[in-house]
């Protein structure tokens, strides 16, 4: 986990799990809840520390901290606090489980998680899913999806992307030509070529392929995907391309569109803020500021309210003027 030093949330020091547990119990006991104390503690401790607080809470009071949060808080604020309490290792598996259960599948969640996680992270998600839910994630996903969208998800689930070791310029040229012929030069697109190349080649190789593609075709690969495909497949292909180019830029854009326009996609806003807070939220903030002429902090401030806003701004960790 050493490469992850770009989060806004880090271990709090000096940390005292029992003192935090006592403060939280006091904040939720009796009439009314002191939300400020709850949100301040939970957003300024990292996930590992939150688990220790939950354990101390049970030890001291014989109560379940998450159950108490659920009964004392409401709405989006409750969802955010409960999400912060979810153990980090299970966060993605849990999100996927809820994306594929019951009526209708949430393709947006499948796309966001499987396009952006590293092969090692995907392997971990599959193992945790099997352990926690006694079910095979791939079977669950194939049962709820179809067509080329399903096939690309399955390729990504194999987590067999080539390792980043040196780039073979001849293969770069070849892949770029194959994509050009499969997309721009053909009636109907040969989606399978896009799926195989985008799903299996190394990150540094694909970055070169995208440059070469632009040289050959005069288009960014995103433009071709946009024109030649549609629906869930298009969204997934675009997410994969954007994550190959830059995962933080992909999440900056995801956050921007979760808040842009009328209404906010709070599920996405919460999921990304929580899942990236200890990973690369500083990088995401930088990309956001660069690409959207305002800071993430300013947009959250404008788009949310109340304790929910306070907590999100603390997770955001500062403004970028």
Per-residue pLDDT of the chain (321 residues; tens, 9 = 90+): 445 579 999 999 999 999 999 999 999 998 889 999 999 999 999 999 999 999 999 999 999 999 999 999 999 999 999 999 999 999 999 999 999 976 677 999 999 999 999 999 999 999 999 999 999 999 999 999 999 999 999 999 999 999 998 899 999 999 999 999 998 887 677 999 999 999 999 999 999 999 999 999 999 999 999 999 999 999 999 999 999 999 999 999 999 999 998 889 999 999 999 999 999 999 999 999 999 999 999 999 999 999 999 999 999 999 987
State residue 172's pLDDT score. 97
pLDDT in tens, 249-284: 999 999 999 999 888 999 999 999 999 999 999 999
Residues 77 and 114 in one domain: no
295 in a domain, yes or no?
yes
Whose structure tokens read 């994969």? 240
3 in a domain, yes or no?
no
12 in a domain, yes or no?
no
Residues 178 and 239 in one domain: yes
- DSSP state for residue 7 in the 8-state scheme: -
Residue burial 223-247, b: 16+ Cβ < 10 Å; e: rest: ebbeebbeebbbbbbbbbbbbbbbb
Which CATH number covers residue 272?
1.10.220.10
139 in a domain, yes or no?
yes
Residues 304 and 256 in one domain: yes
Residues 75 and 136 in one domain: no
Residues 278 and 288 in one domain: yes
Count the residues in the chain: 321
99 in a domain, yes or no?
yes
State residue 280's pLDDT score. 95
Domain boundary among 28, 58, 87: 87
d(CA 312, CA 77): 9
54 in a domain, yes or no?
yes
What is the number of structural domains in the chain?
4
By CB atoms closer than 10 A (0-12, 13-18, 19+), residue 49 is buried
Domain boundary among 105, 131, 158: 158
Say if CB 47 and CB 88 are below 8 A apart.
Answer: yes
Say if CB 133 and CB 98 are below 8 A apart.
Answer: no
| Neighbouring residues of 72: CB distance < 8 A, sequence distance ≥ 6 | 28, 33, 38
Domain boundary among 63, 87, 111: 87
Residues 187 and 228 in one domain: yes
293 in a domain, yes or no?
yes
Question: What residues make up the domain containing 151?
Answer: 89-158
45 in a domain, yes or no?
yes
Residues 151 and 97 in one domain: yes
pTM listed for this prediction: 0.94
Residues 70 and 94 in one domain: no
Nearest residue to 219 (alpha-carbon basis) of 184, 187, 171, 170: 184
Residues 76 and 97 in one domain: no
């Amino acid at each position: 986990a050493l490469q992850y030093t770009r989060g806004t949330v880090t271990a709090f020091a000096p940390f005292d799990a029992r003192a935090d547990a006592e403060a939280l119990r006091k904040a939720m006991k009796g009439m009314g809840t002191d939300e400020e104390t709850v949100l301040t503690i939970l957003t300024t401790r990292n996930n590992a520390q939150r688990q220790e607080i939950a354990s101390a809470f049970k030890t001291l009071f014989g109560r379940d901290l998450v159950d108490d949060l659920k009964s004392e808080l409401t709405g989006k604020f409750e969802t955010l606090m409960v999400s912060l309490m979810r153990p980090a290792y299970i966060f993605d598996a849990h999100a996927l489980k809820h994306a594929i259960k019951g009526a209708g599948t949430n393709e947006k969640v499948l796309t966001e998680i499987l396009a952006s996680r590293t092969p090692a992270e995907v392997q971990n998600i599959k193992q945790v899913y099997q352990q926690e839910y006694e079910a095979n994630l791939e079977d669950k996903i194939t049962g709820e999806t179809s067509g080329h969208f399903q096939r690309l998800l399955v390729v990504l689930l194999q987590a067999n992307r080539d390792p980043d070791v040196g780039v073979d310029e001849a293969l770069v040229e070849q892949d770029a030509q194959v994509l050009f012929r499969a997309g721009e030069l053909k009636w109907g697109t040969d989606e399978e070529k896009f799926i195989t190349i985008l799903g299996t080649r190394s990150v540094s190789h694909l970055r070169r392929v995208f440059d070469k593609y632009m040289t050959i075709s005069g288009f960014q690969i995103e433009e071709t995907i946009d024109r030649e495909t549609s629906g869930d497949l298009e969204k997934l292909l675009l997410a994969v391309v954007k994550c190959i180019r830059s995962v933080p830029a992909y999440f900056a854009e995801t956050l921007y569109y979760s808040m842009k326009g009328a209404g906010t996609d709070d599920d996405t806003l919460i999921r990304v803020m929580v899942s990236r807070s200890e990973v690369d939220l500083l990088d995401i903030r930088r990309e956001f500021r660069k690409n959207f002429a305002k800071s993430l902090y300013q947009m959250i401030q404008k788009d949310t309210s109340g304790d929910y806003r306070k907590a999100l701004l603390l997770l955001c960790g500062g403004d970028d003027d």
